[in-house]
Amino acid sequence: MVDVEQWAEVRRMKRVEGLSARAISRRTGLARDTVSRLLVAEAPPRYARARAESILDPFKDWICEQLRADPKVPSQRLRELAAEIGYAGGKTIFDAYVREVRPRFLVRRTFQRTIYRPAELVQCDLWEPSQHVPVGYGQTRRGWVVTTQACWSRAFAGTLVFSKEAPDILAGLARSISRLGVRPEKLVWDRESAIAGRGKPSVPFLSFCGQMEVGWIVLDAGDAQAKGQLERQHRFLRSNFEPRRFFANHLDFQDQLDRWAEKVNGRAHRTIRGIPAERLATERQQRPLGRVTPDTDRRWVARVPQQPLIRVDRNDYSIDPVFAGRRVEVRVSQREITATVLDTGELAAKHTRIFAGFQTIIDPAHQSQLELQRKRRRQRHQVDVQQRPLSVYDALIA
């Protein structure tokens, strides 16, 4: 068999030296017909073994028919069905063939790179840390991070919350957007139950968007890949932020998260070929956030009981006992809890919010007022008894 070197030499003699086929045959010792065949061939000669028949050949058409009917059927199930109709081959060749032909019948979703305008969209989502967060009093609690990412600059911000209810999520969203400092045209959310559980934006979310003067986009069900930027950021949080980090409490968690986000935003981003922090500065110039403080507090009206305590998030907080029996408006934010008397507007209570559970928080002033009222009640039940001197009784006896 003629190798590649001889083929190249024959063609060189013909093209460079201008020798005839007879002269080339005489110099190389090859037959004239072989020389003519080498001169005509455009590709170098190669050895090709004749394909041997496989035990799988009779079943290939059957496998394709099964995959056409159900492209996602497992290879093991196909092999079991093939054994029932006579297949006696091995697992390796069968699975390899199924793996090779299955893509013909699967309709894969393809994606294109989206081009964004500055401050056009901000993707929003919830990310759950793998470990519970310390909240004081020797307790830990399950938490979520409201994550946001500006699509054009790729800048990231996140806020820790301890429930998936609308007031907490929206408070975290407001803080995250304020960290970015950009007023986007639209917020992109999936079908989070407190935001758009059935594809329709909830009333609290619509109120939030109205106060922020932004629009919204709710993704289709099961279409989380449409906000793939933030999904990749969540993967980076799991692989880069969480490992070997320890937190004293929830405030320490938030502080470390903020510093990590600033560090990440200052790195060069491969996709945008720039630094997110620098592009974020451009977005802030074009669409600054301004002074917008949406009202996300949880509110309700309650009557102060005789035992002046009100329960908020598994904890009892004291209220000034002077207002027992009167109605107050309770307002709960991420930082504090206040109670205001409805008819007079007086402040009945103000406490720092505790995220640990099963605690009783009593203001020292409220405790002093309780003791004062208790003392007054005891004084009302005391009767003044006249005490006469003993000389009066001596005179009566004499």
pLDDT at 385: 65
Beta bridge partners of 147: 125, 158
> Cα–chain-centroid distance for residue 356?
24
d(CA 386, CA 370): 31
Show the tokens assigned to 296: 């996300």
- Of 3.30.420.10, 3.40.1110.10, 3.40.50.720, 3.40.50.300, the CATH number of 121-286 is 3.30.420.10
Query: Where are any strands of DSSP class E within 319-385?
Result: 327-332, 336-341, 347-352, 360-361
Q: What are phi and psi of 329, to 5 degrees?
A: -100, 120
pLDDT in the model for residue 382: 63
Q: Which residue has the tokens 């720039």?
A: 274
Q: How far apart are CA 180 and CA 122, in angstroms?
A: 10
- Digit-coded pLDDT (tens) for 28-46: 888 888 888 888 888 888 8
Which residue in 51, 55, 49, 6 sits closest to 27, CA to CA? 6
* 166: Cα within 13 Å, side-chain hemisphere: 19
Provide the CB-side half-sphere exposure for 68 (13 A, CA). 6
Model confidence pLDDT, tens digit, residues 229-263: 899 999 999 999 999 999 999 999 999 999 999 99
d(CA 133, CA 12): 76
pLDDT, one tens digit for every residue, the chain (398 residues): 678 888 888 888 888 888 888 888 888 888 888 888 888 888 888 877 777 788 999 999 999 999 999 999 999 999 999 999 999 999 999 999 999 999 999 988 776 778 899 999 999 999 999 999 999 999 999 999 999 999 999 999 999 999 999 999 999 999 999 999 999 999 999 999 999 988 899 999 999 999 999 999 999 887 767 888 899 999 999 999 999 999 999 999 999 999 999 999 999 998 899 999 999 999 999 999 988 788 999 999 999 999 999 999 999 999 999 999 999 999 999 999 999 999 999 999 999 999 999 999 999 999 999 999 888 887 766 666 677 788 877 888 86
- Pairing of the two strands 186-189 and 121-127: parallel
Tell me which residue of 258, 237, 228, 73 sits closest to 159, measured CA to CA: 258
Q: Are 124 and 146 in contact (CB under 8 A)?
A: yes
What residue type is 188 in one-letter code? Answer: V
Specify the amino acid at residue 279. Answer: R
- Torsion (CA) 222, 227, 228, 232 in degrees, nearest 10: -110
